[in-house]
Amino acid sequence: MGTPEPKRLGEGAMARVARILAARGIDPAAVPDPDTDEPHPGLAAAEARIPLRYRHAVAEHPQVAAWVRAVATRAASPSKGARRLAATGPSVLLLGTTGTGKTHQAYGAIRSLTATGIGVRWQATTEADLYASLRPRPGGDTERELMTIARCPVLILDDLGAAKGSEWTEELLYRLINKRYNDVLPTLITTNLAIRDLRQSLGDRIASRLAEMTERVVLAGADRRRVRAA
């Protein structure tokens, strides 16, 4: 079986991105290709941190490619003559059942973004790993660690809604999402849950912010892991 066709949503948002790029003299069709023959230092550095399974991921979904262009367009130099850095931009919520390629698209987006030549400071974590890393421990500084992740210019938050929740986890997640919402920090979020289930699982405060800050990208089809194993 081949790779399922992605479902395209948000045509209006994509058109707005294209108009902004055209107004700035950037070809909206020019999507960075991270798999060119010419090595790119930024891409090589990113790939060294990307999990091996996703080291050659490609963001082929049109909405994810549009996200890359939008974030690259908003990159800014911290000082005159300095390298442009990813700073602010839109966020994406990748939805779909298990094995439809959500994490693949997220890491593909990181590869494409670093291939544009801008500086990209990014982190990636699953929701479960986030909570595990922030559990109180002797000598640990949970507040500093949370803010380091919350303020990171580009973040992948994988498997949202998969971890067992509590009042503590809900508060941590709210603070993370709220910080990124307020500062308009580009975030790639993946989840197996439908929108109605996200609201029930995460609470209204988080779900409301996600609804405004993200564009939804729905990936449909069979579990690609099971298909490959068959």
Q: What is the pLDDT of residues 138-165, one digit of tens each?
A: 888 999 999 999 999 999 999 999 988 8
Q: What integer pLDDT is reported at residue 168 of this predicted model?
A: 94
Q: What mean pLDDT is predicted for residues 17-37?
A: 50
Q: Is the pLDDT of residue 169 over 90?
A: yes
Cβ atoms of 85 and 76 closer than 8 Å: yes
Q: What integer pLDDT is reported at residue 10 of this predicted model?
A: 55
* Residue spans per domain, the chain: 61-222
Cβ atoms of 115 and 149 closer than 8 Å: no
Q: How confident is the model at residue 137 (pLDDT cuts 50, 70, 90)?
A: confident
Q: What integer pLDDT is reported at residue 34 of this predicted model?
A: 55
- Architecture of the structural domain at 61-222: 3-Layer(aba) Sandwich (3.40)
Q: Residue 24: what residue type?
A: R
